[in-house]
Structure 1
Amino acid sequence: MQAEEATKMDDTGPGDAADVRRRTKGAIVEAALTHAAFDGWTDDTVLYAAAECEVDSRTARRLFPRGGKDLLAAVDDWLDRRMLRTFDPEALEAMPVRKRIAALVRARFEPLDGHEEAMRRAALAHAMPWAAGSSARRVWRTADRIWEAAGFPDTSADGFSRYSRRGLLVGILASTYLYWLDDRSPNHADSWAFLDRRIDDALKFGRTTAGLTRWLPRLPRGRSGAGASQGRP
């Protein structure tokens, strides 16, 4: 990333400027992964990473007005966008559902290979009171994006609603993240095996829920009232 690209934000139309802004932020986020391992997700890390990308400090402060807090928030969007660019929709459609989800989740983690310490610091920062709410919203957004990329509608007859789908995937993302942070296996092979197990568990839960949804309406209805529920005449 050259410095002159960042200055184009002042010289282009709204659409072009937004694209330049996004690419400049992405370059700074990627550079910050190395610095954050040592300095944390701080204002200084923003400036170090920006300098590495030949972006001046004034532009860096415009892109990240809250400094390290905005840098930390930008990581999730950068990872999501990289993940979505990895796959062609038709290629995903040809995969079984569990492979679609696994492939997308893996694609989101793979740019972080070698940056485990930076992400460990990110996990600690996400847990801080000032960050907990926004962190939850971002992982919820990631789950939405993964299901959309996988080609699933908001509702389905398979036992999943939009909210149950997202909730299950949020759990998968969070547990895989924690496992991945401490995984020392070659190429994180143990993490991907863990991910596959969590996805299988979630799909089994969905099938069980679907079965209960079909079965419960067929149960005989008792009389209303507290006495009827206790079996009194």
Structure 2
Amino acid sequence: MTDLEIRAKLLEAAKMHVPFDGWSDASFQAAIRDTGIEPGLARAACPGGATDLALTYHEEGDQLMLERLTTEDMSQMRFRDRIAAAVRFRLEAPDDKELVRRGVTLFSLPSHGAEGARAIWNTCDKIWTALGDTSDDVNWYTKRATLSGVYSATLLFWLGDESPEHADTWAFLDRRIDDVMRFEKFKAQIRDNKLLSGLLAGPLKVLDGVRAPRADAKRQQTGMPGRWTMQG
């Protein structure tokens, strides 16, 4: 079996244990026993143990969201509604809310906070990319940063929401998306306002040099999250 296949089998076996033991070594060991996978192979496929399984579960949800985005007809939706729909699809993707709750608990720990933040950032990157975002400047970062805030806040609200069909969550999400759209409008107004753009000419010129990451050989070697180009 490949590492991907091993992780998939371990994840499926772990799901029944996570609600009781969390994304912990106890759940990981139980999954190894249940699948009969040799412990050495399990550790080789998941060096981080249950944390790797939690991240795999998160990525599984991302994939389900992307698949739904390709099957739903959103052609008549406003763009802000497409963003809201994508976030909703992502929250509806998990098969067990308790698995998500346990994941939030895990990634709220300081030792795993960076991994959790990266997972949410990647989710929001996938949403923007799927919706056709082609920005290659500082907007690439601000869009994903603001949506990460929206997603995180909505996720926490959703976990505690007991309203019918999570109606309160979707209302909360709509309000947060409105905040994002106001922010994007504000950025455009600064650019279009001659007085403000003049006062901020220096900072704006620096930001104009910021570019989105790209998967080229140089970035892979440096590990840099983006790039900067000199503006003439």
TM-score range, shorter chain: 0.7 to 0.9
Cα 1:94–1:136 change in 2 (3 A) is same
Task: Report the RMSD for the aligned CA atoms in angstroms.
Answer: 2.7
Given that 1:89 and 1:149 are in contact with CA atoms closer than 8 Å, whether structure 2 keeps it comes out as no
CA distance in 1, matches of 2:198, 2:129: 39
The aligned counterpart of 1:78 is: 60
Secondary structure at the counterpart of residue 211 of structure 1: helix
The aligned counterpart of 1:161 is: 139
Query: Residue type matched to 1:197 in 2?
Result: R
Identity among equivalent positions (%) equals: 35
Secondary structure at the counterpart of residue 129 of structure 1: coil
Q: Shift in Å at residue 57 of structure 1?
A: 4.2
Kindly indicate whether residue 105 of structure 2 is the aligned counterpart of residue 124 of structure 1: yes
Given that 1:92 and 1:150 are in contact with CA atoms closer than 8 Å, whether structure 2 keeps it comes out as no
The aligned counterpart of 2:92 is: 110
Equivalent residue for 1:45, pick from 27, 30, 34: 27
Q: Shift in Å at residue 210 of structure 1?
A: 1.0
Given that 1:172 and 1:199 are in contact with CA atoms closer than 8 Å, whether structure 2 keeps it comes out as yes
Equivalent residue for 1:141, pick from 89, 99, 122: 122
Q: Shift in Å at residue 55 of structure 1?
A: 5.6
Equivalent residue for 1:186, pick from 164, 167, 181: 164
Query: Residue type matched to 2:65 in 1?
Result: M
Given that 1:26 and 1:78 are in contact with CA atoms closer than 8 Å, whether structure 2 keeps it comes out as no
TM-score with structure 1 setting the length = 0.73
CA distance in 2, matches of 1:219, 1:72: 45
TM-score with structure 2 setting the length = 0.73
Q: Shift in Å at residue 180 of structure 1?
A: 0.8
Given that 2:158 and 2:166 are in contact with CA atoms closer than 8 Å, whether structure 1 keeps it comes out as yes
Kindly indicate whether residue 185 of structure 2 is the aligned counterpart of residue 207 of structure 1: yes
Query: Residue type matched to 2:19 in 1?
Result: A
Query: Residue type matched to 2:189 in 1?
Result: G
Given that 2:14 and 2:30 are in contact with CA atoms closer than 8 Å, whether structure 1 keeps it comes out as yes
Is there any run of 5+ residues in structure 2 with no aligned partner, and where? 200-232
Kindly indicate whether residue 43 of structure 2 is the aligned counterpart of residue 65 of structure 1: no
The aligned counterpart of 1:101 is: 83
The aligned counterpart of 2:227 is: none
Instruction: Number of aligned residue pairs: give it.
Output: 198
Measured against aligned partners, the alpha-carbon deviations of 1:192-229 in whole angstroms (never above 9, x if no partner) come to: 121111111211221122112211446777xxxxxxxx
